[in-house]
């Protein structure tokens, strides 16, 4: 009777230690970012249907640059573009000039200048942000807000 109990206990202890080692290894990999799924996702800059983010850039000093295309069919006047990143690195309101009208099918660059104090961003670091673009349809004169997502590596 005692032999059966000892065999069962040895079985549980052997597999228990093996499971504990596996959990420690998985925890270490997760801690050092190896298991971070965001690093395997492609970069993206996406708005709702009709507005296309053609290109994007985030520099290490914290300046955002976008190239937006108007596929809505009507001319629009962009009134506000806000980038709100989740890590509070470089939240910004894009400074709009008098030339912020996008005709149907037209593309334009928009830029958020770097903040006055350096942010110390590391090239290759990935930033996830929410973008809010407000515009007025030039034909109907209705105001619209669209949200977008930005997943970008610092250059």
Per-residue pLDDT 10s for the chain (155 aa) are 556 778 888 888 889 999 999 999 999 988 887 877 766 777 888 887 788 888 888 887 777 888 889 988 889 988 888 888 766 555 566 666 667 888 888 998 888 777 766 666 778 778 788 888 888 998 999 999 998 888 888 88
Residue 92 has which token pair?
A: 């910004």
What are the sequence ranges of the domains in the chain? 2-35, 40-153
Q: Are strands 44-46 and 76-85 parallel, antiparallel or unpaired?
A: unpaired
Task: Please state which CATH number belongs to domain 40-153.
Answer: 2.60.40.1940
**Torsion angle (degrees, nearest 10) of CA 75, 44, 80, 86:** 160
Q: Is the pTM of this model over 0.75?
A: no
Q: Where do we find the tokens 């709702």?
A: 48
């Amino acid at each position: 009777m005692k032999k059966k109990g000892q065999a069962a206990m040895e079985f549980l202890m052997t597999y228990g230690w093996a499971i504990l080692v596996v959990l420690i290894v998985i925890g270490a990999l997760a801690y050092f970012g190896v298991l971070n799924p965001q690093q395997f996702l492609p970069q993206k800059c996406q708005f709702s249907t009709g507005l296309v983010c053609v290109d994007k850039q985030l520099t290490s000093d914290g300046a955002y640059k976008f190239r937006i295309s108007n596929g809505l069919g009507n001319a629009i006047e962009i009134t506000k573009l806000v980038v709100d990143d989740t890590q509070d690195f470089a939240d910004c309101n894009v400074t709009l000039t008098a030339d912020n009208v996008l005709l149907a099918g037209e593309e334009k660059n928009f830029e958020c200048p770097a903040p006055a104090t350096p942010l110390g961003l590391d090239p290759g670091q990935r930033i996830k942000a929410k973008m809010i673009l407000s515009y007025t349809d030039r034909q109907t004169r209705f105001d619209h807000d669209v949200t977008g997502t930005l997943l970008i590596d610092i250059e």
